[in-house]
Amino acid sequence: MGEMLPLFPLGAVLFPQMVLPLHIFEDRYRQLVRDLLGRPEPRRFGVIAIREGRETGTHGVRSLYQIGCTATLRRVHQRPDGRFDLLTVGTQRFRLIRLEQPLPYLRAEIEPLPDDEPDPAAAAPAVRGVKDAFRGYLDALTERGGATVRLEGLPDSPALVSFIVAAAMVIDLPERQRLLAQPDTLSRLEALRGLLSRETAMLRTTTSRPAPDLRHAPYNPN
C-alpha cells in the first residue's frame, strides 16, 4: 500500500525544494486547507500537473500526469472572506497509483520516488555543463530585452541544480513535466543541457519568444 494524500491538480509543475505560493478560493480547496490545518505537522499534500482540462470547476480536470511532487505547508494567511493565501515548498516526487474522491477534493494513493544525490565528483561534468548552459540561456534572455536576471550563484548539489534550472526555464508544461519525471538526477541534467541549448538558440534567432522576469514566481489561482 502506498501513502494517501490530498491531491491538488494544477496547470503547473512543482519541483522538490522549490517555493509554490497558492491563492485558494474554491470551496473544495478551502476545505482541503482546513483539513490540513487540523492535522499535525508536516502538513503535506500532493501537487500534480493537469494533462487535460483546467484547474477550476467541478469537472475541470479530465486527466492528470502520473508523476507529481508533494508540497509542505509553510505559511497560511486566511482572509476575512474565507479565502487562503498559502506558501508551500516542494518536498518529494511521487508516482500516482490511484485516485479516490470521497471528499470534495481528490485524494490519491502515491508511491514516493527517491530524489537521488549522485556522487559530486562523478556528477561534476554534468553539473558544470548545465551551469554554463544556463548562464548562456539567461544571457540570451537578457539580450532579448524581456527579462531582468540576477544570478548570484548556483549551489553545488547536483539534484538542487537540476530542480532550480528546470523550474526557472521558460518552457511548456509537457517539457517541464518530462524533466520532473526523469528517473534520476544525471538523466535530468542531461535533458536540461539539451533543452538549454535548444532554447538559447531559439532566443537568439527569434523576436517573438516571451521572456518574463525570472525573479518572481506567479500565484497559481485555484
Residues 132-170 have pLDDT tens digits of 999 999 988 888 765 555 666 788 899 999 999 999 999
pLDDT digits 0-9 by tens, 52-68: 876 555 456 778 999 99
Structural domain spans, the chain:
3-113, 120-203
Looking at the domain 3-113, which fold is it?
Answer: 2.30.130
pLDDT at residue 175 tops 80:
yes
Q: Supply the mean pLDDT for the chain.
A: 87
In angstroms, the CA 159 to CA 161 distance is 5
pTM of the model: 0.86
pLDDT digits 0-9 by tens, 85-139: 999 999 999 999 999 877 889 999 999 998 888 888 889 999 999 999 999 999 8
Cell numbers given for 133:
548552459
- Say what the pLDDT of residue 217 is: 43
149 compared with 33, residue with greater pLDDT:
33
Cell numbers given for 161:
541544480
Q: Amino acid letter at 135?
A: R
pLDDT digits 0-9 by tens, 149-159: 566 678 889 99
Strands (E), the chain: 3-10, 19-24, 44-53, 61-64, 67-78, 84-100, 107-112, 220-221
Looking at the domain 120-203, which fold is it?
Answer: Methane Monooxygenase Hydroxylase; Chain G, domain 1 (1.20.58)
**What is the average pLDDT across 14-24?**
96
Q: Are strands 61-64 and 3-10 parallel, antiparallel or unpaired?
A: unpaired
- Say what the pLDDT of residue 143 is: 80
